[in-house]
Amino acid sequence: MWNKIRMFFSTVWKVIQPTVLKLVDELTPEVLAMIEGIVLELATSDLSGEDKRSEAIERIKARLKRDGVSLRSSLINTAIELAVQRLKVS
């Protein structure tokens, strides 16, 4: 049984490892804090879920551009999802 569990997580890690490593490499604590702040600001707004996501992406991209930081959209989306999950847990 434990061997099957170990094999499962080993396989999962192979799939998610590139994303995790990119997140660690490109998302500095400051950028993550900024993204979490924007998500938190929008969490209590009257916007729909999709509108919150669109607004968050716009604000994040504007802030990144202002700060001279380049980040792929896929990493922005992943960071938003991580921030939303952290809000749900807390």
Beta-carbon contacts of 40 under 8 Å, excluding residues fewer than 6 positions away, are: 83, 87
Where along the chain do its domains lie?
Answer: 17-89
Q: In the predicted model, is pLDDT for residue 54 greater than 90? A: yes
pTM of the entire predicted model: 0.74
- List, for residues 32-41, the tens digit of each pLDDT value: 899 999 999 9
Does residue 65 surpass a pLDDT of 90? yes
Q: What is the pLDDT of residue 43?
A: 93
53-83: buried (b, 16+ CB within 10 Å) or exposed (e) per residue? Answer: beebeebbeeebeeeebebeeebbebbbebb
Question: What are the DSSP calls for 45-74, one per residue?
Answer: SSS-HHHHHHHHHHHHHHHHHHHT----HH
